[in-house]
Amino acid sequence: MTVPAGDVAVLLPGQQQDGAAAIAAGHADYPTFRHVFPNPRRRARALRAFFTATVRDGIPFGSALSIWHGPLVAATAVWLPPGGFPWSTRRKLAAAPALSRVLIADPRAFPTFVRYGTNVERAHPTEAHWYLEVLSVRPEHQRQGLGSRLVTPILERADRDRISCYLETADPANVDFYQRFGFQVVDPALDVIPGGPTLVTMRRPPPS
């Protein structure tokens, strides 16, 4: 995939930990993960392991995007192309070592974490779409427009191909941000964790 010139770069093999570090930092207080992993230290370890697998899985598609600030990734977005989600059995097996590190990081929380992933997969739309699996900006780089720069390239590609886009967010504050790009709320309160925060699911239709 061709990415517009500038600060947006495609993450390459071997850079999955760089991309994951930015996601883990930006999601340290994300409602879902704060509920699933109540202990901050265990949460940090679990998120680094999980998002390393997430970024590694997205890299072969050429749509794991990043913005670097010196030697660190300041922001990361993992987009999956049509047919890229749910993960295939082969891709889940490849992620098994990382998931085992999530288990080690917080054994008590792991069953809830697995249930969350299963319920998200079950509720996923079946139509062809680009899926924004995760978008995260390090706290010290937020409100600088980095998230917008990581959203725009795929939206432009989706428009050219007349394909819809889809995402979920557990943070209601994100809804206005995505609505600026044409996303519309599908389900305002998708229940994926008993007693936990719900998800807002959003879809951006293809251009008419």
pLDDT level of residue 6 (50, 70, 90 thresholds): very low
pLDDT at 3: 37
Q: Comparing 5 with 87, which gets the higher pLDDT?
A: 87
List pLDDT tens digits, range 172-191: 999 999 999 999 999 999 99
| Structure tokens given for 132 | 């924004």
Q: What is the DSSP letter of 141?
A: G
pLDDT-derived band at 52 (thresholds 50, 70, 90) equals: very high
What are 146-176's pLDDT values in tens digits?
999 999 999 999 999 999 999 999 999 999 9
Give the largest CA-CA distance in the chain: 48
**pLDDT over threshold 60, residue 2:** no
Q: Can you tell me the distance from the alpha carbon of 44 to that of 189, in angstroms, rounded to the nearest whole number? A: 26
Which of 144, 1, 184, 140 is CA-nearest to residue 78?
Answer: 1
The confidence score (pLDDT) of residue 208 equals 81
Domains in the chain: boundaries: 8-163
Mean predicted lDDT score pLDDT of the chain = 95
- For residue 45, pLDDT beyond 50: yes
pLDDT of 123 above 80: yes
- 3-class DSSP assignment, residue 83: coil
pLDDT score, position 161: 96
85-101 confidence digits (pLDDT tens): 999 999 999 999 999 99
Which CATH architecture describes the domain 8-163? Answer: 3-Layer(aba) Sandwich (3.40)
**What 3-state class would DSSP assign to 43?**
helix
Residue range 65-80, pLDDT digits in tens: 999 998 999 999 999 9
First to last CA, the chain: 24
